[in-house]
Amino acid sequence: MRDKANIILIGFMGSGKSSVGSRLAKNLEFDFMDMDKEIERITQMDIPSIFKKYGEYHFRSVETALLKSLGAKEKTVISTGGGTAMCAENWKILSELGLLVHLYVTLDTAILRTGGKDRPMLQQDRGQLESMWQKRLLVYQLAEHTVDTEGRSIEEVTQYIVDFIKILKE
């Protein structure tokens, strides 16, 4: 396997990036960073409040600033937010940082899993959500690996990634 120092989880909201990321890090004995949690720690605000007070454009600039500040990380699982991979500047930084793994989820499952709560970007009508999901999928699919999370538990998705990383290392 190309010797990539970190594992980066990308995918739509509710695909399990945060939940799988923390388990994966434990399993691989890697550090773990959830970008949203890090942004909340740095700004001392929760994500919905950042969107409400400053809007999406500002949130995106905070995401990019965080990525630029990361420097040399290694042995870290990084869980992105669902929109992080959606700009060329972020994509470049992420792909240089590590192995990109896309967690695939359908829109219906994403809505079921999140209950539509606490995700400012899910507060849109069905048609808008569908076009956002489709547009994002085109980008997520450019990741080096895609894992279908449909019908797989968080533990199963984690184990799937652990297994293929082991095989890639052989």
Ligand X SMILES: Nc1ncnc2c1ncn2[C@@H]1O[C@H](COP(=O)(O)OP(=O)(O)O)[C@@H](O)[C@H]1O
Question: Binding site for ATP: residue ranges?
Answer: 14-19, 119, 152
13 binds ligand S3P (CB under 6 A): yes
121 binds ligand S3P (CB under 6 A): yes
Minimum CB–partner distance for residue 138 and ligand S3P (Å): 15
Residue ranges of the binding site for substrate: 36, 60, 82, 136
Q: Which tokens is 167 given?
A: 């095989």
Nearest-CB residue to Mg ion?
A: 18
Closest CA to 104 of 36, 7, 8, 12: 12
Closest CA to 101 of 32, 164, 47, 49: 164
Choose the stretch contacting ligand S3P; rule: CB under 6 A; options: 88-96, 113-121, 137-145, 150-158: 113-121
Q: Which residue has the tokens 């989880």?
A: 9
- Interface residues for ligand S3P in 41-100 (CB under 6 A)? 47, 81-83
- DSSP labels, 54-70: HHHHHHHHHHHHHHHH-
Where on the chain is the footprint of Mg ion (CB under 5 A)? 17-18
